[in-house]
Chains A and B, each alone.
Chain A
Amino acid sequence: MDFDFSPEEQKFAEEVEQWLVENHDPVVMDPTRENFSQLADTPERRAFMKKLAKKGWLGMSWPKKYGGQEIEGVYEFILNEALSRHAAPQIGKGVGIIGKTLIRHGSEKLKQEFLPKILDAEIEFAVGYSEPQAGSDAANMQLKAEKVDGGWKLNGQKMWTTSAHFADWYWVGARTDPDKPKHDGLSLFLIPMDHPGLEVQSLPTIGKDTTNQVFFEDVFVPDDYLVGKRGQGFQMISEALDLERFTMFTLSPIADRSRVLIEWVRTATRDDQPLRNDPNVRRIIAHIATDTAVAKGLSTRFVCAAKEGGKPPTIQSSQYKLFTTTLSQRVCKDALDVAGAAGQLREGQEDAPLAGRFEGAYRATMNETVGGGSSEIQKNIIARRKLGLPKNF
């Protein structure tokens, strides 16, 4: 048993940390965007991703023949945690979901076309799985992909495509085989985001950022841009989610919010008394600190399970996601409770405690227990795969 990183891993963590301090840029790194800070959605952030690429930090775990270094995934974990701790853009989608799926299942043509661009940070992706009728029931996608000469014609709608308004390419699940069982009738496509048949409509969130819905009207996709085998879409989506779930909700921002709150409580006063002397506040802080330590432990569990190889750490990542996103919301709620009436003041208001950070985070974290597989979906996964309970829906 060993709870420390190895000396090599520790050295890498320190190197990344130092590099991020040296390359600190408030335009690129904005913690008040909370989970949205992971997006490379502005020219400055894309330039930052290019710098990461130059460091050789994109695709570290990929096979050497595709430009990777074939080193353990734990280095990508360390990198992503550090990036998210600094509220910098992260490596999740391109390197993780799309890159790794293409490496496992993509044609030579798609590998040649996309993998080098992912490694060079020349390309940003949007991911389109959810639809109006495919939320938690992700396999219920209805976006229609009709076989036509030389390719496919797509019609329908996607929901919650966060990156649609700035991405270059769209990674989309669509129904190619409506007569097959719903899990076996889906295929994955790559579509240029500037395709004239795509219409992106903004859906502003209760946080600072927007997500989107995307409408497809006769979007033609050549045969070459169907990823992997026809009908294998859902299997590839699930596999990638198993591998990448933890990159979607890194621990660092949550642990950092706990730290920010604790630092504030240490120095704040109420009625001329130190706030930290309030027994109720002390109790709240004790549980936040304890639960944050548990979340870190659950994160260590999936890192270790992933390192062992073999099966993807599905159960461990579901437990981590369930516990940590719930904690994330509770820290924000508790912070507002501790702040008292002033907690309601929003970012930008002079009197807002901690510059309104937690009022903003209270909004921004609302979606964490929903996106990336809701808490209820995680519980179903744990109940069935870990406890062996029967299907319950």
Chain B
Amino acid sequence: MSPLWAGVSLITLEHVSKNFDSPSGSVRAVEDVSFEVDAGALHVLIGPSGSGKTTTMRMINRLETISEGTITINGRDVRDLDVVELRRAIGYVIQQGGLFPHFTVADNVAVVPRLLGWPRARRRQRAEELLALVGLPPKQFADRFPRQLSGGQQQRVGVARALAADPPIILMDEPFGAVDPITRKQLQRELRRIQAEVQKTIVFVTHDIGEAFLLGDRIVLMAEGRIVQNGTPADLLRNPASPFVTEFIGEDRSLRALQHTYLAELAGSRPDGVPDDVPILAGTLSIPQAGQELARHDRSNREGFLVSDVSGRPSGYLTYQQLATVLGESIAPAETMTSAEAAPDPEAAHVLPV
């Protein structure tokens, strides 16, 4: 087995550029791109069309040649690896599935295992396992043909297929771009659930900013072949590198910012003299979640609440006034606070699960 199949995989791009030859000369599609994808993380590549995001991704499994720079996986230059072996170690999902219409669903899922020479029975078993994982009961779907499935179902098969040989890395090229908005939401949620279970290193290309914020551990925003900003969703929201970033994130920015701001980030250290019976909220709650949570607490005669850290210790403190100010950027504070008074719930546990 090649080193690619190690349990975790780290992808590194260093000063990667891509030229396309055209009749009118060479076109620079990707310009000096460097970033790292941590093992087990989901990295979103996002940008307008022509930003080079797809080309950048396709250089990782060498569907595009690398003009300049280096891409390594677990320290190995991808150009030193056998291209067929490299691709079999990397799951690949594309828009509209790219399923083989002449293969049954089960055979589609088992393409890479078949290429790797697994015996028939094991391929079948693996296909059924994965169909169940992506929410397609094997009994009902395994022996159908792709044309007998809806777009969303085909996309699920596409995801199952990428997972078939249990590759450490998965590349996803606008995988949910061609399905209706409701199905897309559903698929995005399912991808989160599956990712929590399988913990793959994923590079995910999209032009949907909502999708990027929902799925990405990190977001690499590209424009005209260059990286504009590479950071966590919260970084992009709170410290946009340029007006372009702000513009690209768009009008829902402030609401999104709140959803990606966590209590732990806002809380100051616990001052002396704060009584123990004030509400305690988990630091991992986002600001809107905290607002909803506090609505269930009796906040009379209290000025603030405690915020617990990762280990569950209530080491942080935030006043209602501070929270209201932050929330006020997009939600009327009065509404939140009124409901807090209207529905006090003395039964609510003071310690929330972290």
* B is bound to A: no
Chain A interface (Cβ < 8 Å from any Cβ of B): none
